[in-house]
Amino acid sequence: MPDHDLPHDTMSPRREVAQSPGPEPLKLHVPEPAVRPGGTPDFSNIRIPRAGQVDRPSVDVDPESIRDLAFSVIRVLNRDSEAVGPWAGALSDSELLEGLRHMMTLRAFDARMQMAQRQGKTSFYMQHMGEEAVSCAFRKALLPGDMNFPTYRQAGLLIAGGYPLVEMACQIYSNTHDPLKGRQLPVMYSSREHGFFSISGNLATQYIQAVGWAIASAIKNDTKIAVAWIGDGATAESDFHAALVFASTYRAPVVLNIVNNQWAISTFQGIARGGSGTFAARGLGFGIPALRVDGNDYLAVHAVAKWACERARRNLGPTLVEHVTYRVGAHSTSDDPAGYRPKTESDAWPLGDPVIRLKNHLIVRGAWSEERHKQTEAEILDTVISAQKEAESYGTLHSEQRPTARDMFEGVFAEMPPHLRRQRQEAGV
Amino acid sequence: MTRRTMIEAIRDAMDVMMSRDDGVVVFGEDVGYFGGVFRASQGLQAKYGTSRCFDTPISELGIVGIAVGMAAYGLKPCVEIQFADYMYPAYDQIVSEAARLRYRSNGQFTCPLVVRMPTGGGIFGGQTHSQSPEALFTHVCGIKTVVPSNPHDAKGLLISAIEDPDPVIFLEPKRLYNGPFDGHHDRPVTPWSKHDLGEVDDGHFAIPLGSAAIRRQGKDVTILAYGTMVHVAETAVTETGIDAEIIDLRSLLPLDLDTIEASVKKTGRCVIVHEATLTSGFGAELCALVQTRCFYHLEAPILRVAGWDTPYPHAQEWDYFPGPARIGRALIETMEA
């Protein structure tokens, strides 16, 4: 099995020559990343195929015949910023420009909210830096009524789906206009209307729920599909494996996404991946078609998303998609990556920056320019700031304007049972 | 009215609900073709088809996990965990997901699902087929916990559970499936056909969750029990001749505290009985509530009779089980206090 995309060889146990006829003492193998803080970032042994190299099979292909896709990387944008190969060509100039705006909006929003957290306006934030293409591009392959079961780093699904920035900020600030009444940690959004399932905050639990939602859709002979999201680290949870079993058994109309951003807080992806070569390869044992895609290539993510969603819609069953990307920022506002990886590692990441790559592609297409980009950046910042200001007019976490203590007691059940009513009375609210 | 065993009553409840609402789906390990190891779903797949009643992989977390997603979609899954002892892999899905979905999404997503599980011992099932984990559910905010003690209630409560807009844990005392158990394992089994509560109404009827039933009127002491222990307590009352009032709680959460309070204020004494282990059991909650509500009416300390704080043993099953003799001793102790 190829091991091309690992920081270094984490799979083969060291062999030592036996000194005596008896068995050698056993040794524990604990995978380590290639480089730690102070070292020079090195991704040289990550094998990245040239853009356009990977075939695009038909969606009803026999999964057995495309097992190699679990070990390659589907890419569309080449070094000259051209869209090449069989996965290119699905998006128009205006669609690509819209995608660029979505990613830029997400990035600007992240920067403002990150700052707001530092200013004490909320308790916590999680940004997407480097991963914007994954959720923004995937969203454009979905239809109204489809349901995402996201993690905390797919807010691009909301932004690309037209969810108001003000509502996002109100949720983050837990203010009087927070659609979730202050009950959830910042960024754990929920919007049924926008096909965005309530984020639990517990990892992996929702992967299997997405499969259940998809099974329900099939039971009702509906046409909607479900989309599951998980990070590289959380694939180690039992929920991930249960999801693959159930999706495989019932051929559920679901797309199973793994966002491999290389880091699970401080734990490098080799700890969760173990000896399987790639995360996508996990799907092979279940007979689930498994694809790897350049997660920093908006066009590639969109093309793979379309392919996988079409399989689901045509009742051909689940698809596993590993998005190969890099978490440029910290895990959250409570994390500092300087403690576990070289500071310049993100600069060395070989798949580049998703926003810059799409911008350059649009310039090559003649649909964009540096000047228009700068201008748009400024416009987007204005939009984000005005949304932020509106949200702040409804309060921030530690201000007086926040959900009431009475709201705390509501919504545990459809109808408040007597014991909660007594407790609410006791609380005097 | 038809005479039914508890298993037949449970099957009938699912049948009635599946025929009334095509969103009701039933699944679990061995549940589909075979009809479940206790045969609760026998015939449902043949009647309603494989997409309404089906077998699942052996993954409790998977069973409850897909049920959460299906319930959020808008179906009403009624799933079976083969034994309550097997529910631990699903516990995270119940506690962190099913129970909190309505709350954390402010009602955008809800989770109307029922998780049925055979509970309790008395069948020589050893530690992996005998546990009573109800307190692990009553401690969780956002789920309801129900324990029927007879076929009539099992049907009416299960129908309510399936119709409930929130997740319900439905614990079925497996020792009662085929007959009321008087606590004397060495005596012949009485079938439900010889018991009044084996008479089950036909068609649709619902018993509201949160209403207790007074099984025996009495004036000397109040016994709080549920599931198998309702019948064992009846034996203890007969054998001691103490005029006890027996309250079958039926639903632990929501709890019918008014019925409990009225009874204890009348009798001035209270004995709480459950099969689950003593420490931090549901009896502790009942004890706390009763003393808060009824302290100035109490003539004696509240006593608890429960399983010993050991894993459920195999060979020593009847040393572990809180049988009529132990309950009887507690009744005498409280009367003499």
Task: Indicate if the pLDDT at residue A8 is higher than 70.
Answer: no
ipTM above 0.85, yes or no: yes
β-partners of residue B119 are B173
B169 SS3 class? strand
Residue B108 and residue A181: Cβ atoms within 8 Å? no
CB within 8 Å of chain A, chain B residues 269-298: none
Task: Indicate if the pLDDT at residue A2 is higher than 60.
Answer: no
Q: What is the DSSP string of A25-58?
A: PP-------S--TTSPP--TT---PPTT-S----
Mean pLDDT of A236-257: 98
Q: Is B138 within 8 Å of chain A by CB? A: no
Angle subtended by helix axes A165-173 and A370-393, to nearest 10: 50
Of B326, B299, B282, B149, residue with least CA distance to B221: B299
For chain A, give the mean pLDDT: 94
Candidates B50, B53, B54, B73: best to mutate against A (most CBs of A within 10 A) is B73
Q: Is A18 exposed, middle or buried (0-12, 13-18, 19+ CB in 10 A)?
A: exposed
Task: Indicate if the pLDDT at residue A6 is higher than 60.
Answer: no
The whole-model pTM stands at 0.95
pLDDT class of A276 with cuts at 50, 70, 90: confident
For residue A126 the two structure tokens come to 């999680």
Mean pLDDT of B275-291: 98
Q: How many CA atoms lie within 13 A of A257 on its CB side?
A: 33
Q: Is B57 within 8 Å of chain A by CB? A: yes
Q: Are strands B221-225 and B270-277 parallel, antiparallel or unpaired?
A: parallel
Q: Is B66 within 8 Å of chain A by CB? A: yes
Of B309, B317, B323, residue with least CA distance to B125: B317
Task: Indicate if the pLDDT at residue A18 is higher than 70.
Answer: no
Comparing A46-50, A117-121, A279-283, A407-411, which segment has the lowest mean pLDDT?
A: A46-50
- Measured CA to CA, the distance from residue A180 to residue A192 in angstroms comes to 12
Mean pLDDT of B220-243: 98
B144 to chain A: which residues are within 8 Å by CB? 413
Side chain identity, residue A63: P
Q: Is B67 within 8 Å of chain A by CB? A: yes
Strands (E), A117-272: 147-149, 226-231, 254-260, 263-264, 267-268
- Measured CA to CA, the distance from residue A123 to residue B108 in angstroms comes to 24
Can you say whether residue B107 is alpha, beta or left, with left for phi > 0 and alpha for psi between -120 and 50 degrees?
A: left
For chain B, give the mean pLDDT: 98
% of chain B with per-residue pLDDT over 70 = 100
Question: B161-210, pLDDT tens digit by residue?
Answer: 999 999 999 999 999 999 999 999 999 989 999 999 999 999 999 999 99
For residue B275 the two structure tokens come to 């099969």
Q: How many helices (H) and strands (E) does chain B have?
A: 12, 14
- Measured CA to CA, the distance from residue A400 to residue A422 in angstroms comes to 26
For residue B197 the two structure tokens come to 């509560």
Can you say whether residue A366 is alpha, beta or left, with left for phi > 0 and alpha for psi between -120 and 50 degrees?
A: left
Angle subtended by helix axes A238-249 and A205-219, to nearest 10: 20
Mean pLDDT of B203-229: 98
For residue A190, the chain B residue with the least C-alpha distance is: B105
- Measured CA to CA, the distance from residue A377 to residue A373 in angstroms comes to 6
CA A311 to chain B, closest CA, distance in angstroms equals 20
Of A253, A254, A240, A251, residue with least CA distance to A208: A240
pLDDT at A75: 98
Tell me the count of A-B CB pairs closer than 8 A.
142
Residue A197 and residue B254: Cβ atoms within 8 Å? no
For residue A38 the two structure tokens come to 């102070």
The catalytically annotated residue of B129, B152, B231, B274 is B129
Question: B128-158, pLDDT tens digit by residue?
Answer: 999 999 999 999 999 999 999 999 999 999 9
pLDDT class of B5 with cuts at 50, 70, 90: very high
Residue B257 and residue A411: Cβ atoms within 8 Å? no
Give CA angle at B306 (B304, B307), nearest 5°: 160
Q: Which alpha helices (H) appear in B273-323, and where do they start and end?
A: 282-294, 317-320
Name, in order, each residue with C-beta under 8 angstroms of A202's C-beta and a sequence gap of 6 or more.
B92, B96, B97
For residue B74 the two structure tokens come to 């808008």
- Measured CA to CA, the distance from residue A346 to residue A342 in angstroms comes to 9
Of A127, A149, A136, residue with least CA distance to A331: A127
pLDDT at A89: 87
CA A197 to chain B, closest CA, distance in angstroms equals 8
Side chain identity, residue A128: H
Residue B254: asked if its preceding bond is cis (omega within 30°), the reply is: yes
Task: Indicate if the pLDDT at residue B295 is higher than 80.
Answer: yes
Residue A413 and residue B142: Cβ atoms within 8 Å? yes
Residue A198 and residue B104: Cβ atoms within 8 Å? yes
Of A88, A113, A79, A284, residue with least CA distance to A186: A113
A245 to chain B: which residues are within 8 Å by CB? 57, 59, 62
Q: Is B21 within 8 Å of chain A by CB? A: no
Task: Indicate if the pLDDT at residue A9 is higher than 50.
Answer: no
B254 to chain A: which residues are within 8 Å by CB? 417-419
Candidates B24, B70, B76, B163: best to mutate against A (most CBs of A within 10 A) is B70
pLDDT at B229: 98
Partner-chain residue, chosen from B66, B105, B255, that has the shortest CB–CB distance to A211 = B66
Name, in order, each residue with C-beta under 8 angstroms of B79's C-beta and a sequence gap of 6 or more.
B26, B27, B28, B63, B64, B67, B113, B114, B115, B116
Other CB atoms within 10 Å distance of the CB of residue A371? 8
Partner-chain residue, chosen from B97, B102, B106, that has the shortest CB–CB distance to A200 = B97
The reply to whether B139 belongs to the active site is no
pLDDT at B124: 93
Other CB atoms within 10 Å distance of the CB of residue A329? 20
Question: A128-170, pLDDT tens digit by residue?
Answer: 999 999 999 999 999 999 999 999 999 999 999 999 999 999 9
Contact between B1 and B199 (Cβ < 8 Å): yes
CA A295 to chain B, closest CA, distance in angstroms equals 27
CA B279 to chain A, closest CA, distance in angstroms equals 22
Side chain identity, residue B94: I
- Measured CA to CA, the distance from residue B294 to residue B266 in angstroms comes to 10
Partner-chain residue, chosen from B51, B57, B74, that has the shortest CB–CB distance to A245 = B57
Q: How many CA atoms lie within 13 A of B221 on its CB side?
A: 33
Q: What is the DSSP string of A292-314?
A: EEETT-HHHHHHHHHHHHHHHHT
Mean pLDDT of B16-31: 98
Task: Indicate if the pLDDT at residue A87 is higher than 50.
Answer: yes
Of B177, B117, B181, B135, residue with least CA distance to B317: B181
Question: A357-394, pLDDT tens digit by residue?
Answer: 999 999 999 999 999 999 999 999 999 999 999 999 99
pLDDT class of A1 with cuts at 50, 70, 90: very low
How far, rounded to the nearest angstrom, does the alpha carbon of residue A181 sit from its chain's CA centroid?
25
Sign of the dihedral through C-alpha B250, B255, B257, B258: negative
Q: Which alpha helices (H) appear in chain B, and where do they start and end?
A: 6-20, 44-48, 60-73, 91-92, 101-104, 134-138, 151-163, 228-240, 257-267, 282-294, 317-320, 324-336
Question: B259-274, pLDDT tens digit by residue?
Answer: 999 999 999 999 999 9
Mean pLDDT of A172-187: 97
Contact between A233 and A267 (Cβ < 8 Å): yes
Helix, strand, coil share (%) of chain A residues, nearest 5: 40, 10, 50
- Measured CA to CA, the distance from residue A199 to residue A151 in angstroms comes to 6
Q: Is B31 exposed, middle or buried (0-12, 13-18, 19+ CB in 10 A)?
A: buried
Residue A401 or A13, more confident: A401
Mean pLDDT of A422-427: 96
Partner-chain residue, chosen from A198, A246, A417, that has the shortest CB–CB distance to B210 = A417
- Measured CA to CA, the distance from residue A9 to residue A31 in angstroms comes to 9
